[in-house]
Amino acid sequence: MGVVAGVRVAARRARLLPPWVKRADAAATRRINGWHSHPHVDQFWWRFTGFADKGVLWFTAAGVLAVVGHRRAAARGLLSLITASAVTNLIAKRVFGGDRPALEDVPIGRRLPIQPSSRTFPSGHSASAAAFTAGVALESPRVGAALAPVALGVAYSRLHTGVHWLSDVIGGLAIGVGVAAAGAAIVRPRPGPPPPPVPPGADRTLPAAPDGEGVFIAVNRSAGTSVVRADPIDVLAERLPRAELQVLESDEDPGRAIAAALARPVPPRIVGICGGDGSVACVADEARRAGVPLLIIPAGTFNHFARTAGLASVDAAVDAVQRGEGVRVDLAELTFGAHEPITVTNVASVGVYPDFVAEREQVQRRVGNKWLAAVVAAARVLRRSDPVTVVVDGRRAEVWTLFVGVGRNERDLPAPLQRRTLDDGLLDVRALHAGSRAGAIASLAFGRRTAAVVRALRLVPERVEAFTTTKLTVDVRPRGGQPPGFAHDGEVALDEPAAASAHLSAPGYRTRIRILPGALDVYRPATTDEGRPASD
């Protein structure tokens, strides 16, 4: 940049940024550079900011959101990010520019391996983070709130590594939010989701508990910590005052708590679980074996099974148990060799998804946030995973992932995480056959239609095989010296070390899955002829 152009840029910024802003920038930079942080902390921040380079962090987050059903939010977030990035890099940086903080003032351990060479105002990383998060929040406020700390972390990482001034970061955040707001004015966000259609299932009369007498509810407080919602315990205590609520410790098994209650001399008439899909599966196993109805209080991150059953809120579940309204649902049974069978409520799988679940649990123990853990885990797993060799009812195949859903799912999805039926008596099997890694990522993130477009261009010849059955035998072969793990309902059923050490079939292991028709009574509001929950 020539001297005249440099003077022009400096003059423009001087007009826009008054002296007090420059003083604030200098004071903030001195304060941050003066903090004495552990080298591991410094390393975390420059690795974290590197993960956000070129939007990799946010494209990964979009893939995770799309897989778990927030496709519209993912699309708006990406469109906002792309627009904000263009505005920032093609317009704002050229108009305003500016020099970055002096490198010699930044502690050596914080400096990026490769220093950015673009103009400093505004921060492109901050603009992208704000645009994506605000765009997602417009479609799904709860998910946006969960992503907000991640976006602010990206913004702070630019200060911690010494590559931006405070005003650069604030300017980038403002541009990102402004772009998302402008997008909302052009294409309005979809209003709050309508009540989900309730799947077929004959309404049943179950034991009623208007005040909660005879109801035992295990409360998993560690479930759903990555979403913002009111504390369900307050609602339960107010509306079911005679119910027994047992708040579980962070490492306590909900199934064991329910089993202990059912083993009492006077067991509860109704058992309940306040938690997510993994907790529901544990308790459903105990309720099925004891022959008692199950009350599900949706309090997890995704609540796939609760949403399928028509339980959109805590109040809907309480209404159902107070009136004695419910439905009989199918479950599945997953067996490894001579091990005790495991009850499955939604889906069982082997391949990339179990790897993702196991990695997410490890990361979540360190970072505490399930959404952030999911983003990091997805990036790691998709980068290093290999196809899995399985033998399905005697047919050998190389697959990226094999899903076995309880009840039929949406036809065009290779990852059927949420069932669409309650009592059709079928297992819905989806196998994503091995091909390119890019094709597997596209298929798992954005569904079969997106993958079909890419296949039409002969870039990723992926193939999804789908069929229904009532029982299935799957032999899982070793991968890299040991067989891969198996997962169900968002939890690891059999991890790789357990699979390698278990006395199952060799080499690898064998698992059997069968449908259990009408295996469990679940409370849900009675439905009208149109398939919606009845209202008073």
Tokens 């391996």 correspond to what residue?
113
pLDDT given at position 6: 42
DSSP, collapsed to helix, strand or coil, labels residue 45 as helix
Which comes out higher in pLDDT, residue 79 or 92? Answer: 79
| Cα–Cα nearest to 277, from 229, 220, 239 | 220
DSSP, collapsed to helix, strand or coil, labels residue 483 as coil
CATH architecture entry for 344-520: Sandwich (2.60)
Q: Which CATH number fits domain 3-186: 1.10.15, 1.10.10, 1.10.3860, 1.20.144?
A: 1.20.144
**Alpha-carbon 443 to chain mean position:** 17
Class of the CATH-defined domain 203-329: alpha beta
Over range 477-481, report the average pLDDT: 67
Instruction: Give span(s): CATH 2.60.200.40, the chain.
Output: 344-520
pLDDT given at position 452: 47
Evaluate whether 408 touches 466 at the Cβ level (below 8 Å): no
Which comes out higher in pLDDT, residue 379 or 80? Answer: 80
Which tokens belong to 136? 């997602």
Q: 320 — alpha (psi -120 to 50), left (phi > 0) or beta?
A: alpha
pLDDT tens-digit profile of 247-276?
A: 988 778 899 999 999 999 999 999 999 988
**Least confident window among 17-21, 149-153, 298-302:** 17-21
Which residues does residue 270 pair with via DSSP β-bridges, in sequence order? 215
CA distance linking residue 460 with residue 403, whole number of Å? 20
Q: Is the model's pLDDT at 459 over the cut of 60?
A: no
pLDDT given at position 2: 43
Q: Is the model's pLDDT at 201 over the cut of 70?
A: no
pLDDT given at position 371: 60
pLDDT tens-digit profile of 37-88?
A: 888 888 888 888 888 888 888 888 888 887 767 888 888 999 999 999 889 8
Q: Contacts by 42-46 with C-beta closer than 8 Å and gap 24+?
A: 42/107, 42/109, 42/110, 42/160, 43/109, 45/110, 45/156, 45/157, 45/160, 45/161, 46/110, 46/111, 46/112, 46/113, 46/157, 46/160, 46/161
How does residue 295 score in pLDDT terms, banded at 50, 70 and 90?
very high
Instruction: Give span(s): CATH 1.20.144, the chain.
Output: 3-186
